[in-house]
Amino acid sequence: MAPGNAGIADIADISTINIENCDEVVKLATQEKIDFVIIGPEAPLAAGVSDELKNKGFLVFGPSKAAAQLEISKSFMKDVCTTVNIPTAKYSKFNDLVSAKKYVAQALERKSGLAGLDDDKNGELGLIDFKRIKGGKPFNTELDWYQSMLTEIGQTKG
């Protein structure tokens, strides 16, 4: 079992290998004469562990690295949904923080009327009316602020 945990240690041998390292996983599977490998976490799928095990003849339950992109990359998944007309929430991609801030602020403003836009003296986009979003409490970090906004957007959908 890799990586395993204390809860399963009574019924399985736990390995400390790096489950994202294809060579280590193949070596363990070979040494232990494993018949069937189930890959649960995304990280080893993204690293191509499933592909490598299949290439070495192991029976594997877990998508290929290419198929795992549907779960690993939200951007890829959204593009697939859009391309084949699968209903999905509206989204956008950004290459710069200013555009991302503007998009989120406008979405919040459309959904709830809670925020406005303000360009500061340095030309950077800022957001105002934070107190209405978080009940007057200060934000510790920009991430705290974004999480609050996204929560608010989710609560005001409808």
126: enclosing H helix or E strand: strand 125-128
- SS3 at position 59: strand
CATH of domain 1-91: 3.40.50.20
123-158, pLDDT tens digit by residue?
A: 444 444 444 444 555 555 555 556 665 665 555 444
pTM of this prediction? 0.59
85-115, pLDDT tens digit by residue?
A: 999 887 787 777 777 777 777 776 655 544 4
Per-domain residue ranges of the chain: 1-91, 97-156
Residue 4 backbone zone (phi > 0: left; psi -120 to 50: alpha; other: beta): left
What burial class does residue 100 get, using C-beta atoms within 10 Å of its C-beta: 0-12 exposed, 13-18 middle, 19+ buried?
A: middle
